[in-house]
Structure 1
Amino acid sequence: MDEFLIGSNTEKVVRTAECPVLTVKGPIPNLQIRNIVLPSDFKREIGTAVEKFKYFQQMFGAKLHLVYINTPGAFESSSNLRARMQKAAERYGLQNFTINVYNDTIEEDGILHFAEETGADLVMMATHGRTGLSHLLSGSIAEDLVNHSDIPVLTFHLK
């Protein structure tokens, strides 16, 4: 119950840190970041984090796999989603990327399944860093992901 109400220490760091947070579950011998998964809804909010995403992609010389997790509760057509993602990629000047729509029951599972299937070395995502009642009501996909992913997760605040 405490973890549900308060969250793990890792979740607290992800929620409150003003700098990017890299979460790694354990030792990873010979870590090479070649494939980065970037899950998002690709709406306006992502713009505040795009420069950070691009910086880390360029630093690692990695391919960026843009992915929208299409769920039954928020289903959209694949063609509309791909068009939105392509527009976002052009607007923000992304390079060396793929566009992907992945269907799953919930976002967190979809991100994990897609990352595993693509052989991702890193998942990068933005978080709102909500606290208090808004955090309790809305939750955080990024915080859930860092608790369940064996793949390193790099999070950035949208603030």
Structure 2
Amino acid sequence: MKNILVPTDFTGTSDLALAWAKFIAKQYIHDGLETTLVLAHVTQPYIPDTTLPTGEVGAGILAAQEMEDVGELNLHEMAEQLEREGFTTRIETRFGSIDGEIVEVADELKPDLIVMGRSHIDTFFDWLAGSSAADVAMTAHCPVLVVPTLEHGQSHPVRLQNIAYATQLEFDENHILRPVVNLVRTFNSNLRLVKIKALNQPNVYDDRQYLDQIESEFGRERFVEDTVNADNVTEGLTKYIKTNQIDLLIMATRERDFLSKLLNPSLTKRMVLSSDVPVLVYHAEEK
């Protein structure tokens, strides 16, 4: 893993994401791979209030410039601290919308992974609006690890003992499982393939067909297969995570048109917004 992109707004939520990025980077560095932590900060543009006098609008623009300068200074200080800890760093400062600029940085630098924090969601309106982390996870062209901040600023322990991969067993997933299995091997983790059987989920093909395909490439000893009955996938995965002490949930998302996104929000995005454990999102290309 050469580059890990870590967007930060210098809050506790970003600190949790950085802790996970450091944990992952340390393992790859220990294995002899050069890994750079790319620290990114986005300053959002000032939106003037047309009811204010012109002078106050100008003051707002100056304040936005000062915030940009402060952000760059904080990034340099963070990078210096990480380098004292033995990490290689790079900084990127941008101006614009948070999710749009982060995806643009990722498109330019092509990191192996983005690690972002997700703040605690208190209300229905928070859920409806989503979060920058969820938006990046759905649109970036590389894997995205979303680390949630729980109620009262609590967090899940930074560890990778038990990893769950959510599967429908309705299509060929070996191309997605390859990096998943590599991750499991790198961290010597336990992998569980979890299928949630719910009334609103397709169940067209025999599960054994795809399980045999998976086992033929990766070996039977690499994972445990679990099937869970639930009213819906989100409920089933949430209960499974708690019952089995899962440290990381991995899900795949597919490109969908605007109408399907509007009428049927992504199950992956729902879990990114609701999970109490970090969610790693892979983007599955249509084969």
Which residue among 183, 208, 221 is the counterpart of 1:56? 183
The answer for unaligned runs of 5 or more in structure 1 is: none
Give a deviation string over 1:45-92, Cα, whole Å, max 9, x none: 42331112112111221111111101133486xxx54x3453143133
The reply to whether residue 106 of structure 1 matches residue 232 of structure 2 is yes
Does the residue aligned with 1:55 lie in a helix, a strand or coil?
helix
Query: Which entry has the higher C-alpha Rg, 1 or 2?
Result: 2
* CA root-mean-square deviation: 2.5
Which residue is 1:33 aligned to?
Answer: 160
Q: How many Å apart are 1:11 and its aligned residue?
A: 2.1
Equivalent residue for 1:24? 147
The percent of aligned pairs where both chains have the same amino acid is: 26
Q: TM-score, normalised by structure 2?
A: 0.49
Q: 1:146 to 1:55 in 2, by over 3 A?
A: same
The question of whether the paired residues in 2 share the 8 Å contact of 1:46 and 1:126 is answered with no
How far, CA to CA, are the matches of 2:212 and 2:187 in structure 1?
Answer: 24
Pick 1 or 2: higher relative contact order, CA cutoff 8 A, min separation 6: 1
1:41-52, aligned counterparts within 5 Å?
41-52=168-179
Mean Cα displacement is larger for which, 66-75 or 100-109? Answer: 66-75
- Matching residue of 1:92: 217
CA 1:99–1:29 in structure 2 vs 1: closer, same or farther (change >3 Å)? closer
TM superposition score normalised by structure 1: 0.83
Moved over 6 A (4+): none
Which of 236, 240, 245 lines up with 1:119 in the alignment?
245
Q: Which region of structure 1 is more displaced relative to structure 2, 12-21 or 37-46?
A: 37-46
C-alpha distance in 1 between matches for 2:127 and 2:246: 28
Determine if the alignment matches structure 1 residue 154 to structure 2 residue 271. no
Query: 2: CA distance between counterparts of 1:84 and 1:101?
Result: 15
Length, aligned pairs only? 155
> In structure 2, what is the Cα distance between the partners aligned to 1:34 and 1:13?
26
1:139 counterpart = 2:247: no
Alpha carbons 1:15, 1:131 under 8 Å: kept: no
